[in-house]
């Protein structure tokens, strides 16, 4: 089901010249009213005028205005308007890339960043249209493709539950592995030679300290037409224990924002489980719909019909006395 039109254009814009009739008719009506007032100023009230009292003249004005507006709506419909609307994608592939570095054990987000990320990721895969393929990639010092693109939500959820922490953070490696996973998406039977639309959703709490450049990986994603939606997850107060010492692991946002910008995606931040679920919901809406041009003639024809009915009611009220 299409959503509300966002922008309006016309398939036959030259037909909009008929809209000049709207001000012309209004000016003509105003002129007729002025002429009628001048003509009747010095003559006795007629029998018809006694039947239709002067105080009901506003109904006549409303009827005329509604009729002219109906004509305007019909003219717009005649020009075949088209709106940019959001319609659900029939198919796409989403790669979930989740940071499993040791900093994800910080408890600034309860019970830990990783446990909260797991639950939110499972919620996310339930938000995505059932026909979408989902793949799962984890990354720390190296990246691993845990689940190739599949519509089996249970397999993805089970793999998410099995995520375990490891040392270091290689975000660039995670992106390259995500691109490899995207390449395994099954083709569309109706369009086998066209690449399937897709996106990478990458969650991390820090910045790279090993592996390939994330900038280069983001540019490669851009080249392949795959936007990366990044989520910086955590707070500035996070910490972990290392050999009896408290090490602060403040969430990093700069690198993730750069990745989103270079790839054509969008950067998000989340400091709690609730915020993370909201971010995932926003991403699901973004990747689940595509903007297309769609004719909306029926919409404006409907407006014209409603205005015409209201004009008819106003006209009938001139000749009737309502109880």
Rounded Cα distance between 168 and 306, Å, is 65
Q: How confident is the model at residue 5 (pLDDT cuts 50, 70, 90)?
A: very low
Three-state DSSP class for residue 238: coil
First vs last C-alpha separation in the chain: 44
Mean pLDDT calculated for residue range 260-272: 97
**Average confidence score pLDDT of the chain:** 85
Q: Is the pLDDT of residue 170 over 90?
A: yes
Higher pLDDT, 322 or 294: 294
In which band, very low, low, confident or very high, does the pLDDT at 91 lie, cut at 50, 70 and 90? confident
Which one has a higher pLDDT value, 16 or 212? 212
Nearest to 60 by CA among 321, 319, 323, 322: 319
Query: pLDDT band at residue 228, thresholds of 50, 70 and 90?
Result: very high
Task: List, in order of start, the domains of the chain with CATH numbers.
Answer: 8-84+294-318 (no CATH), 89-271 (3.40.50.410)
For the cut 60, the answer to whether the pLDDT of residue 40 exceeds it is: yes
Tell me, what's the pLDDT at 291?
Answer: 67
148 has pLDDT over 70: yes
Provide, rounded to the nearest whole percent, the portion of the chain with pLDDT above 90: 52
Mean pLDDT of 115-144: 95
| pLDDT value, residue 4 | 42
Closest CA to 255 of 237, 277, 230, 278: 230
What's the chain's length in residues?
A: 323
Q: Residues 282-308: what's their mean pLDDT?
A: 80
Whole-angstrom Cα distance, residue 102 to residue 168?
7
The closest alpha carbon to 91, from 191, 206, 201, belongs to 191
Q: Give the model's pLDDT for residue 264.
A: 96
**Over the stretch 109-125, which tens digit does the pLDDT of each residue have?**
999 999 999 999 999 99
> 52-66, 118-132, 184-198, 214-228 — which is least confidently predicted?
52-66
More confident residue, 126 or 56: 126
Instruction: Assign 127 a pLDDT band (cuts: 50, 70, 90).
Output: very high
| SS3 call for 140 | coil
Q: Which of 46-50, 112-116, 289-293 has the highest mean pLDDT?
A: 112-116
**pLDDT at position 309, please?**
85
What percentage of the chain exceeds 70 in pLDDT?
83
Neighbours of 294 (CB within 10 A): 14
Per the structure block, which two tokens stand in for 66?
């509604």
């Amino acid at each position: 089901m299409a959503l509300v039109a966002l922008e309006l254009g016309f398939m036959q814009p030259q037909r909009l010249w008929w809209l000049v009739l709207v001000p012309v008719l209004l000016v003509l009506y105003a002129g007729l009213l002025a002429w009628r007032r001048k003509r009747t100023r010095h003559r006795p009230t007629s029998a018809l005028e006694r039947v239709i009292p002067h105080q009901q003249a506003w109904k006549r004005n409303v009827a005329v205005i509604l009729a002219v507006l109906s004509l305007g709506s019909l003219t717009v419909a005649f020009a075949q308007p088209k709106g940019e609307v959001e319609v659900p994608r029939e198919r796409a592939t989403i790669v979930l890339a989740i940071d499993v570095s040791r900093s994800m054990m910080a408890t600034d987000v309860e019970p830990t960043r990783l446990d909260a990320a797991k639950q939110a990721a499972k919620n996310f895969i339930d938000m995505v249209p059932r026909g979408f393929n989902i793949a799962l990639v984890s990354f720390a010092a190296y990246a691993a493709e845990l689940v190739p693109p599949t519509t089996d939500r249970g397999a993805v959820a089970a793999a998410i539950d099995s995520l375990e922490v490891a040392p270091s953070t290689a975000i660039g490696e995670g992106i390259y592995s995500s691109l490899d996973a995207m390449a395994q998406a099954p083709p569309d039977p109706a369009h086998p030679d066209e690449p399937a639309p897709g996106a990478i959703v990458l969650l991390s709490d820090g910045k790279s300290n090993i592996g390939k450049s994330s900038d280069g990986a983001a540019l490669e994603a851009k080249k392949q037409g795959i936007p990366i939606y990044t989520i910086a997850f955590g707070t500035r107060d996070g910490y972990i224990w290392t050999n009896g010492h408290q090490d602060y692991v403040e969430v990093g946002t700069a690198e993730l924002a750069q990745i989103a910008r270079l790839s054509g995606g969008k950067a998000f931040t989340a400091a709690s489980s609730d915020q993370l679920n909201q971010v995932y919901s926003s991403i699901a809406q973004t990747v689940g719909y595509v903007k297309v041009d769609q004719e909306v003639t029926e919409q404006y024809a409907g407006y014209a019909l409603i205005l015409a009915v209201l004009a008819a009611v106003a006209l009938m009220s001139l000749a009737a006395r309502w109880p």
